[in-house]
Amino acid sequence: MKKGLIAIIVVAVVLLGGFVWVKNVYNQMVVSDESVQAAWSQVENVYQRRADLIPNLVATVKGYAAHESETLESVVAARAKATQVTVDPTDLTPEALEKFNAAQGELSSALGRLLLIQENYPDLKANQNFSELQAQLEGTENRITTERMKYNDAAKAFNTGIRRFPDNIVASIFGFEKKGYFEAKAGADTAPVVEF
């Protein structure tokens, strides 16, 4: 009888210890997942700030460079496309991030062409509203870089946590999946060729 009671106590302690371990690992993964989602929300927030600046920038340029309609239309179209591409924060897969990044890249390219217009229009270049909008846009681009880096850090912490043994067992049981990263565009590692 005494041996049976000891065996029951040992099994109960092992089960309780296992439960506590699984609970702690699961809760840490939830906290880490929430950190990734919060970082993603900040990324979307700064991209939205950029999208909100664009109509004012386009309106300012339109007043000085009305015959640059093709460039203005491409910026407006790229903005519309970029704001339509959204990523569910619970499904931050590499494919979803790549699609989001491609749409934002098209917008960045269109904005670059828009900002180059100022070289042909000295009055636009001297316009205080345009200068302020350009400065805000530059600040927003810096924020985008910062928030993307914070997102990548949060995703790295989460991905490391779900891949570590024996935590990876709990992650697979509860369906925690690897989060995607923002990555440099293809060819970003080669310097442009400058010829004179």
Q: What is the pLDDT of residue 185?
A: 65
What is the distance between the alpha carbons of residues 146 and 21, in angstroms, rounded to a whole number?
35
Q: What is the mean pLDDT of residues 99-120?
A: 85
How does residue 30 score in pLDDT terms, banded at 50, 70 and 90?
Answer: very high
| Residues above pLDDT 70, as percent of the chain | 92
Q: What is the pLDDT of residue 66?
A: 66
Peptide bond into 166 cis (omega under 30): yes
How does residue 81 score in pLDDT terms, banded at 50, 70 and 90?
Answer: confident
Q: What is the DSSP string of 114-141?
A: HHHGGGG-HHHHH-HHHHHHHHHHHHHH
pTM equals 0.78
Q: What is the mean pLDDT of residues 93-105?
A: 88
Per-residue pLDDT tens over the stretch 160-194: 999 999 999 999 999 999 998 887 665 444 444 43
48-157: CATH class? mainly alpha
Tell me which DSSP letter residue 164 carries. S
- The amino acid present at 39, given as its one-letter code, is A
| Residue whose entry in the numeric block shows the structure tokens 């060729």 | 193
The structural domains of the chain, with segments of one domain joined by +, span 48-157
What is the distance between the alpha carbons of residues 82 and 76, in angstroms, rounded to a whole number?
10
Per-residue pLDDT tens over the stretch 118-157: 777 777 777 788 888 888 888 999 999 999 999 999 999 9
